Amino acid sequence: MTNQTRVVVTGMGALCALGNTMSEIWTAATAGQSGIGPITRFDATDYGTTFAGEIKGFDPASEIGKKEARRLDRYSQLAIVATRQALAQSGLDVSANPERVAVFIGTGVGGVETIESGIENLVTGGPRRVSPFFIPMMLANMASGNVAIDIGAKGPNFAPVSACAAGAHAIGEGVMMIRNGMADAVIAGGAEAPVTRIGVAGFSSMGALSTRNDAPQQASRPFDASRDGFVLAEGAASLVLESLEHALAHGATILGEIVGYGLTDDANHMVQPAPGGEGAARAMTMAMADAGVSPDQIGYINAHGTSTPLNEKLETAAVKRAFGEAAYSVPLSSTKSMTGHLLGAAGAIEGAFTLMALQTGVLPPTINQTDPDPECDLDYIPNVARQADISIAMSNSMGFGGHNVSLIFRKAE
């Protein structure tokens, strides 16, 4: 490890298509349930893809207050609720020393729902119809800023905006902030609310989305030969990171430790991973070096696993490049098969999944594995969760622009 300061996780909160708390989400994930269904947030009848991973039963007015909710884009609302859940579990008192509490909430696209409605108001009603809250609601940093306002955290604050690696970057940078002595605690995570007309239309135009409209729950099928695109999803996850010393001082329960962080870029293509998964492999190798562990010590990998034709082939190659022969003995799975793809929040909720696997000894499955791809020949925990007493696990994230992040977690002692 690059620094002797140990960074632990003391709280987790999340909302996604599988549930509105981490407990609900984990129960559904380990049961191999899908949260995917028809889009209800707008009329998707004329769209090539008519389904997504939507959160069910979320009422921002009751969670945050009607007046405040109206001034926040949905992605900020989700970030605030996930953070409140995480703090409740942690028991961290932000007010005790607010200048030493940092907030890093990543996102891929920020307030896209606000952008969409704002432009519509401008076109149909002219400039006077644009809300005075348009700018502060749509900015990509506002989930991070609004979380800090909500909890009173006055320490370092920024929003990683690195597409589908943003949530993982937030966690990794939070680790570095604590190691470097610039904060005692960090609220780190990601938030995304991209299930909008322009969001679905844009990804659909790229050919990135699955079009299995007749079977939405079977649409996200990472590593399967018949995968035809990812499933767009919304959600948020927040983790409370603390130095071990700080966590023990206030009697927190340690949920796990973050011991490794690796980050690279492919410098290859706007949306395609590097040939052979070279960039992702370097991120994994960097994270293992940071953690001081070897490939044969990793007991589980939460894969990026988007369900796109190119990603899984190159991610499999990346694991082989980084792990060597150990690649064939380490189980890995894609929880996106159940949650859909949360874009900038994906790395955060998948970090939480990885911690839950360490805590419970249950490895979540990759569902919809019915026709294995010959080019994807590793152990992807097909369809059914698996019991495994593991002590070290990895979570990988990759984003448009060539961003790669690998995080390594250790079971709480």
| 43-91 per-position pLDDT tens digit | 999 999 999 999 999 999 999 999 999 999 999 999 999 999 999 999 9
Out of 164, 246, 376, 403, pick the active-site residue.
164
Helix axes 74-90, 112-125, angle to 10 degrees: 150
What pLDDT is attached to residue 128? Answer: 95
Q: How many CB atoms lie within 10 A of CB 45?
A: 7
Out of 16, 169, 246, 304, pick the active-site residue.
304
Supply 336's token pair. 């996106």
What pLDDT is attached to residue 3? Answer: 55
pTM of the predicted model as reported, rounded to 2 decimal places: 0.97
Burial of 158 per CB tally in 10 Å (0-12, 13-18, 19+):
middle
pLDDT < 70 regions, the chain: 1-3
Specify which residues 333 forms β-bridges with: 302
DSSP string, 306-352: -S-HHHHHHHHHHHHHHHGGGGGTS-EE-THHHH-B-GGGHHHHHHH
Residue 341 among the catalytic residues: yes
Helix axes 22-30, 346-360, angle to 10 degrees: 70
What pLDDT is attached to residue 272? Answer: 81
- Write the pLDDT tens digit of every residue in 226-266: 999 999 999 999 999 999 999 999 999 999 999 999 999 99
Backbone angles phi, psi at 5, to 5 degrees: -65, 120
Q: How many CB atoms lie within 10 A of CB 273?
A: 24
Cβ pair 256, 411 in contact under 8 A: yes
Residue 304 among the catalytic residues: yes
Residues 253 and 111: their CA atoms lie apart, in Å, by 34
Task: Sketch the domain layout of the chain as residue ranges.
Answer: 7-249, 262-410
Residues 193 and 73: their CA atoms lie apart, in Å, by 8
What pLDDT is attached to residue 269? Answer: 86
Phi/psi zone of residue 164: left (φ > 0), alpha (ψ -120 to 50 degrees), beta?
alpha
> Domain 262-410 is of which CATH architecture?
3-Layer(aba) Sandwich (3.40)
Out of 169, 246, 341, 403, pick the active-site residue.
341
DSSP designation for 164: G
What pLDDT is attached to residue 273? Answer: 78
* CB proximity list for 177: less than 8 A, separation 6 or greater: 102, 104, 156, 183, 186
Helix axes 112-125, 197-205, angle to 10 degrees: 110
Residues 65 and 16: their CA atoms lie apart, in Å, by 20
Residue 16 among the catalytic residues: no
What pLDDT is attached to residue 1? Answer: 45
What pLDDT is attached to residue 401? Answer: 86
> Domain 7-249 is of which CATH architecture?
3-Layer(aba) Sandwich (3.40)
Cβ pair 8, 244 in contact under 8 A: yes
- Write the pLDDT tens digit of every residue in 148-162: 999 999 999 999 999
Residue ranges in 31-141 assigned as alpha helix (H): 60-64, 66-70, 74-90, 112-125, 134-138
